[in-house]
Amino acid sequence: MNFRRRNNEEPEINLIPFIDVLLVVLIFLMLSTTYSKFTEMQVTLPVADTDAQRDYPKELIVAVGSDGNYSINHNALPGRSLEIVASALSEATKGAKETVVVISADASAKHQSVVTVMEAARRVGLNQITFATQSSTQAAAQ
């Protein structure tokens, strides 16, 4: 009978060379990767052709200028804040919730200016919002 004690050593995996290789690969990827930033994208806004323009019985035209100024039914607003636009919309509609808000924004107006008008209309309770566009013949003439 063999009563010798067997040496039960568990196999050991050395992770240090594996970590060294991963660090070398990580450093290589960091040095060889080029980071490019897209600062601005040129966007041409679409032109819509409609059969006939709709006339809404109670419409409120909100114009947004390229400089961020607002006017409601050709009356310029004194400021650009959300509260000023909301109070002017509330005053212009006088509580009529079925009024349609027509946003006529300049092509170079900031997106935030249009979103401000939409948020002001939501706060006042005006849910019907549409955007004014120009026809392709008008766009070609300019």
Question: For residue 48, is it within any domain?
Answer: no
Domain membership flag for residue 109: yes
How confident is the model over 25-76, as pLDDT tens digits?
A: 999 988 887 765 544 444 444 466 655 555 556 888 888 888 888 988 888 8
Its sign, for the CA torsion 65, 68, 69, 73, is: positive
Residue position matching structure tokens 């212009």? 92
Residue 120 domain-assigned (yes or no): yes
Assess if residue 122 is contained within a domain.
yes
Q: How confident is the model at residue 6 (pLDDT cuts 50, 70, 90)?
A: low
Least confident of 72-76, 107-111, 137-141: 137-141
Q: Which strand ranges, in their side-by-side order, compose the sheet holding 70-72?
A: 75-76, 70-72, 59-64, 100-105, 128-131
pTM: 0.57
Number of domains the chain is built from: 1
